[in-house]
Chain A
């Protein structure tokens, strides 16, 4: 069984960290990650850029609405995520639209990734 660990924190706070504070946190995390990687238990590790860089594709209308900013409804829950390698926002939106056609309802938040370690998921 694979588990996804989704990182939640106050963005106000994390964005207020100085470069030194941020690097100290990342260094401590790296120690844990290395241990997991050595045990063959580490999958992809992702750090997202701030929600201010996010765009949301709302599928409730046809064609879906593109909205600036993060997904902010509380009725719905985060049920999964994709990682795609694209040239720009337009291409990412196109993929989200395709996925949206296959899967009715809900929204996709398109958030640029700041850090990506592909890892070696356990079999």
Chain B
């Protein structure tokens, strides 16, 4: 007897590979999804009787293909159906099919599936919604809840995304080495977007969106199994594992964000941190640093510090410097300034922040950081002005509340 929970987990795990292969076969997202659904129904019927197959993904692909073909035949002409035994007695056929499916095919299928979801013609939110529906198999209701929109609005968004992809004529042939590398980068970015969609949730949205983080980590592990020697994918997985390890310490009982330096580090989850550190060690051996690896290395330095004051800020400053050279952006420089303030003092950091004023004039965090630096330098008037600007630009109540704490502290200090 096969445990229903096991079957459920096995179907979830096999989904990207199976839908990917079926998509390659049918060249139509809806047909591939339907075939997969049918195969799952068969699995629920057969696996408890016959025991689980050796390779669930191969079984589902094989059965999904047959069932769909069967339906096409039934719909087009009154041809004789294949004998039921051919489908119900799959022991030998499944093993044979599994033998013939080589790893290269599998990984191209999964990549193609992920790549189709992050088609450049789709806006990021549609890419994520489509990936959640097609790759992860989340229901429209679950996705709608995660994005805080109505179910019918999400249904429309996904339908629109599918038809846009259908109209764009996505190529289905096996990608070459260059293409594959490019796709991998796009897919990595999509996975990180998916993660951030979950990670950036605040207040009431946290419970609904937290599963997106787990899903992103699962996809990164899947990619890593398909491409075991890609250091940037190791870096991406490590980065998400460390960020997610802090989940139990990131919010107070009112749902407000607790800053990294104020978090109760004993509540960080040690298992994903250990896994991430192992992945970073592996990635470093390749000596081809990339943005995900560097961000993961920064996250690792925070994770290694038992107390906030033990953080190796000088090393973090250096890593941000490397990230700046690789991916110049005012936001990266701003983040670096926070490390610089700790490592070299507030004046050095302020000198770094001031030139960013024109580029970041609409960014709440710029004024938050600037205010904090001015405060450290004893320039209370300037700090107050910066904090006021920050509150005006805050995107969420949580951001505004955080800045207000600074202002309150400022008020208290000026009274005492």
Which A residues fall within an 8 A CB radius of B?
10, 12-13, 15-18, 21, 49-53, 55, 66-69, 88-90, 112-115
Q: Give which listed residue, A10, A18, A52, contacts B221 with CB less than 8 A.
A: A52
In the complex, what distance in Å separates the CA atom of A112 from the CA atom of B280? 12
Extra contacts besides A52-B221, A66-B285 (14): CB < 8 Å = A12-B10, A12-B14, A15-B13, A16-B10, A18-B214, A50-B275, A52-B224, A52-B228, A52-B237, A68-B234, A88-B277, A89-B282, A90-B281, A112-B274
Chain B residues 316 to 363 lying within 8 A of chain A, measured CB to CB, are none
In the complex, what distance in Å separates the CA atom of A51 from the CA atom of B237? 13
Given A50-B221, A52-B224: A114 and B275 within 8 A (CB)?
yes
User: Which residues of the other chain, B, contact A90 by a CB distance below 8 angstroms?
Assistant: 281, 285
- Nearest-neighbor residue (CB-CB) of A112 within chain B: B278
User: Which residues of the other chain, A, contact B218 by a CB distance below 8 angstroms?
Assistant: 15-16
- Nearest-neighbor residue (CB-CB) of B57 within chain A: A12
- CB distance B9 to A17 under 8 Å? yes
In the complex, what distance in Å separates the CA atom of A55 from the CA atom of B282? 7
Per-residue CB proximity of B268-282 to A under 8 Å, as 1/0?
000100110111011
- CB distance A88 to B221 under 8 Å? no
Q: Give which listed residue, A21, A69, A89, contacts B228 with CB less than 8 A.
A: A69
In the complex, what distance in Å separates the CA atom of A75 from the CA atom of B274? 31
- Nearest-neighbor residue (CB-CB) of A14 within chain B: B9
In the complex, what distance in Å separates the CA atom of A23 from the CA atom of B237? 22
- CB distance A13 to B285 under 8 Å? no
Per-residue CB proximity of B1-45 to A under 8 Å, as 1/0?
000011001101110000000000000000000000000000000
**How distant is B138 from chain A, measured CB to nearest CB, in Å?**
13
- CB distance A52 to B279 under 8 Å? yes
**How distant is B247 from chain A, measured CB to nearest CB, in Å?**
10
User: Which residues of the other chain, A, contact B77 by a CB distance below 8 angstroms?
Assistant: none
Of the listed residues A13, A67, A114, A115, the one surrounded by the most CB atoms of chain B closer than 10 A to its CB is: A13
In the complex, what distance in Å separates the CA atom of A66 from the CA atom of B287? 14
7 contacts between A and B (CB under 8 A): A15-B13, A16-B10, A52-B224, A52-B225, A55-B282, A89-B285, A112-B277
B153 at the A interface (CB under 8 A):
no
Which B residues fall within an 8 A CB radius of A?
5-6, 9-10, 12-14, 56, 214, 218, 221, 224-225, 228-229, 234, 237, 271, 274-275, 277-279, 281-282, 285
In the complex, what distance in Å separates the CA atom of A89 from the CA atom of B278? 7
In the complex, what distance in Å separates the CA atom of A12 from the CA atom of B277? 21
**How distant is A40 from chain B, measured CB to nearest CB, in Å?**
29
Which 10 pairs show the lowest CB-CB distances between chains A and B? A69-B228, A12-B13, A89-B281, A112-B278, A52-B224, A68-B229, A53-B278, A16-B9, A13-B9, A68-B228
Given A68-B282, A88-B281, A114-B274: A51 and B13 within 8 A (CB)?
no
User: Which residues of the other chain, A, contact B237 by a CB distance below 8 angstroms?
Assistant: 52
Of the listed residues A10, A17, A21, A113, the one surrounded by the most CB atoms of chain B closer than 10 A to its CB is: A10
In the complex, what distance in Å separates the CA atom of A50 from the CA atom of B279? 10
User: Which residues of the other chain, B, contact A15 by a CB distance below 8 angstroms?
Assistant: 13, 218, 221
In the complex, what distance in Å separates the CA atom of A21 from the CA atom of B214? 14
In the complex, what distance in Å separates the CA atom of A88 from the CA atom of B5? 36
In the complex, what distance in Å separates the CA atom of A50 from the CA atom of B221? 9
**How distant is B232 from chain A, measured CB to nearest CB, in Å?**
13
In the complex, what distance in Å separates the CA atom of A69 from the CA atom of B225? 8
User: Which residues of the other chain, B, contact A18 by a CB distance below 8 angstroms?
Assistant: 214
User: Which residues of the other chain, B, contact A89 by a CB distance below 8 angstroms?
Assistant: 278, 281-282, 285
